[in-house]
Amino acid sequence: MNDITNNGAGFFRSQLGSMSEMEFLRLSYYIKNKYGLNLEGKKQMVESRLYNYVIDRGFSSFSEYLTAALGSEDDFEMANIINRLTTNYTYFLREQEHYDHFMNTFLPQMEKSIKCDELCIWSAGCSFGNEAYTFAACMEDYFEGKNNNWDRRILATDISQNALLTAKRGSYNETIIKALPPEWKEKYFTEQKGIYTVNERLRSQVLFKYHNLMEPIAFKKTFDLIICRNVMIYFDKQTTADLICRFYEATNPGGYLYIGHAESMPEGCPYVREQSAVYRKL
């Protein structure tokens, strides 16, 4: 029995009950097909992340809610489900090895080889924006004092509207910003009452957009670097393999793909491994 208390929330908690196996299968099948997220074995997590929301929306069972959400013509409910089922964990300077490669190998190479005045970088599965802003700050540092007018805006995409809102706002508390070098805090953030906001100079270098990685990649440009870290861990093997092929098509010759260090490339991956979690299209 649930921990029933006398307050309203406790009462409703006991009313909602748990999600049936069939309901869970229906939802997880839909989410996997549409968004790639593999929810196998995660019924408890799904229930606990949706429980209070379903109650707040006034539904009296998961069954009633899922019928409404999956049958709805607009994306409102699905966006809310995605906000709750995605794991948006991220932090500034995560996986430092990539920033070292970026500064010491990628940017010098691109500086030499790029013919036009444009560097195309994509942070795919950007979550709260920490990753894209960190790469943008690295670029600002790298090109400082150089006579370089390249268009080097970073495209940063995600399926979580909540994460994108936070990313666009670019405001982080002191704990989140803690790991950054003091000179970056000074240079790239404005502080007010303990909240650090990314300044205009850096913000203008990043363009945040909704994009579902299960859909065809149809941006106007192809990329010199695709950063897709700690996203494919939530996909199964086939979904990952298909996505890697789409990434490959969207990578310029000589361009790179960064994946998370805990992730592995599928068999038959067309990229060449340059070092751990760094792949290149020759």
Ligand X SMILES: C[S@@+](CC[C@H](N)C(=O)[O-])C[C@H]1O[C@@H](n2cnc3c(N)ncnc32)[C@H](O)[C@@H]1O
Q: Which residues bind ligand X (CB under 6 A)?
A: 35-37, 86-90, 94, 125, 127, 131, 158-160, 163, 212-214, 229-231, 234, 260
Shortest Å, Cβ 170 to ligand X: 15
Shortest Å, Cβ 194 to ligand X: 23
Nearer to ligand X, 63 or 88 (CB): 88
Shortest Å, Cβ 86 to ligand X: 3
Shortest Å, Cβ 81 to ligand X: 12
Nearer to ligand X, 79 or 114 (CB): 79
Angle between helices 21-35 and 43-56 (to 10 degrees): 90
Nearer to ligand X, 131 or 224 (CB): 131
3-state secondary structure of 274: strand
**What does the alpha-carbon distance between residue 18 and residue 7 come to, in Å, rounded to a whole number?**
20
What does the DSSP assignment read for 110-164? HHHH--SSB--EEEES-TTTHHHHHHHHHHHHHHTTS----B-PEEEEES-HHHH
Q: If you ran DSSP here, which 8-state letter would residue 5 be given?
A: -
**Do the Cβ atoms of 226 and 251 come closer than 8 Å?**
yes
Nearer to ligand X, 199 or 212 (CB): 212
Nearer to ligand X, 23 or 158 (CB): 158
Shortest Å, Cβ 271 to ligand X: 18
Nearer to ligand X, 207 or 214 (CB): 214
Strands, DSSP E only, in the chain? 121-124, 154-158, 171-173, 189-192, 195-198, 206-210, 223-228, 251-259, 272-275, 278-280
Strand partners, 280: 256, 272
**Do the Cβ atoms of 188 and 140 come closer than 8 Å?**
yes
Nearer to ligand X, 135 or 271 (CB): 135
Shortest Å, Cβ 260 to ligand X: 6
Shortest Å, Cβ 155 to ligand X: 12
Torsion of CA 57, 60, 65, 66, to 10 degrees: 150
Count of CB atoms situated within 10 Å of the CB of 199: 13
